[in-house]
């Protein structure tokens, strides 16, 4: 157990809808990173938030956006959902910036 | 980040040591070697990381060659619960984790 929690555990949406996924970081951690893992592939980095600011972004379109709150919890928002957005979404927290990252259990999103 | 190469799959007998190799021939001097594992449908679990020296913790040992071009993760007494995909990642302190295909380790009774 890492102390990183994510909600919901599973979600079903339809194409064109919007979704918000939530992550609570491990106690004492001020950084949250989000990853997308398609079936059969390794996780792909989406972006990182450090002290409420975006601190790096992977190759994902702007319809993937995020927020980090003063308590260091975080949200991942995806607009205009596409079928290819179906994946396991993982968040990872770290003590500061790019220190060792500890992952939550993930949210499995299915887009129909 | 340097590219890493791992065998796609390995088997290990329960109770024996599992030795998982990783090649990272283009690793730069400031890149650490990280190991994570992912049990089916769960989030990746951090195992261990190192820069130059061999490292050991309660889960595993990490052996890094002197030239740093390869490393081996050792699970000293594999159990069925160690069956997972193991990812070796070369990562500097200022970058995101880049996951490759990993090694699917099957521990058999």
CA-to-CA dists, residue A17 to A13, A28, A102, A109, angstroms: 7, 34, 30, 12
- pLDDT bucket at B93, cuts 50 / 70 / 90: low
**How confident is the model at residue B38, as a pLDDT?**
97
Which residue in A33, A103, A105 is closest to B96 by CB distance?
A: A33
**How confident is the model at residue A46, as a pLDDT?**
96
Any chain B CB within 8 A of the CB of A42? yes
Q: What confidence tens digit (pLDDT) does each residue in A14-33 have? A: 999 999 999 999 888 999 99
Q: What confidence tens digit (pLDDT) does each residue in B97-107 have? A: 889 889 999 99
Q: What are phi and psi for residue B81, nearest 5 degrees? A: -70, -10
Instruction: Name the CA radius of gyration of chain B, rounded.
Output: 13
Residues of B with CB under 8 A from a CB of A: 34, 36, 41-46, 49, 87, 92-102
- pLDDT bucket at B1, cuts 50 / 70 / 90: low
Q: Residue A8: how many CA atoms within 13 Å on its side-chain side?
A: 9
**How confident is the model at residue A97, as a pLDDT?**
67
Q: Which of A42, A66, A109 to mutate to test the interface with B (most CBs of B within 10 A)?
A: A42
Instruction: Decide if B99 and A58 are in contact by the 8 Å CB cutoff.
Output: no
Any chain B CB within 8 A of the CB of A22? no
Q: What confidence tens digit (pLDDT) does each residue in A29-84 have? A: 999 999 999 998 999 999 999 889 998 899 999 999 999 999 999 999 999 999 99
State the SS3 of chain B: CCCCECCCEEEEECCCCEEEEEECCCCCCCEEEEEEEECCCCCCEEEEEECCCCEECCCCEEEECCCCCEEEEEECCCCHHHCEEEEEEEEECCCCCCCCCCEEEEEEC
Q: What are phi and psi for residue A84, nearest 5 degrees? A: -70, -10
Cα B45 → chain centroid: 11
Which residue did the predictor score with more confidence, B93 or B49?
B49
Tokens representing B13 are: 């007998």
Distance CA(B19)–CA(B16), nearest Å, equals: 10
Instruction: Decide if A98 and B98 are in contact by the 8 Å CB cutoff.
Output: no
Q: What confidence tens digit (pLDDT) does each residue in B5-30 have? A: 999 999 999 999 999 999 999 998 88
Other CB atoms within 10 A of residue A68 CB? 22
């Amino acid at each position: 157990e890492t102390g990183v929690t994510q909600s919901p555990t599973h979600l079903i949406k339809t194409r064109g809808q919007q979704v918000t996924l939530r992550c609570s970081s491990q106690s004492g951690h001020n950084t949250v990173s989000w990853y997308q893992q398609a079936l059969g592939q390794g996780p792909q980095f989406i972006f990182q938030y450090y002290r409420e600011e975006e601190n790096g972004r992977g190759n994902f379109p702007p319809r993937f956006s995020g927020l980090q709150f003063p308590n260091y919890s975080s949200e991942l928002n995806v607009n205009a959902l596409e079928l290819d957005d179906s994946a396991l979404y993982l968040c990872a927290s770290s003590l500061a910036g790019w220190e060792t990252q500890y992952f939550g259990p993930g949210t499995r999103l299915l887009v129909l | 980040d340097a590219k890493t190469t791992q065998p796609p799959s390995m088997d290990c007998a329960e109770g024996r040591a599992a030795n998982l190799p990783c090649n990272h021939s283009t690793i730069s001097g400031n890149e650490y070697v990280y190991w994570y594992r992912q049990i089916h449908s769960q989030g990746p679990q951090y195992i261990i990381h190192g820069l130059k020296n061999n490292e050991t913790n309660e889960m595993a040992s990490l052996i890094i060659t002197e030239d740093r071009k390869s490393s081996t993760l050792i699970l000293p007494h594999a159990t069925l619960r160690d069956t997972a995909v193991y990812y070796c990642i070369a990562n500097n302190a200022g970058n995101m984790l880049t996951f490759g295909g990993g090694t699917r380790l099957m521990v058999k009774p």
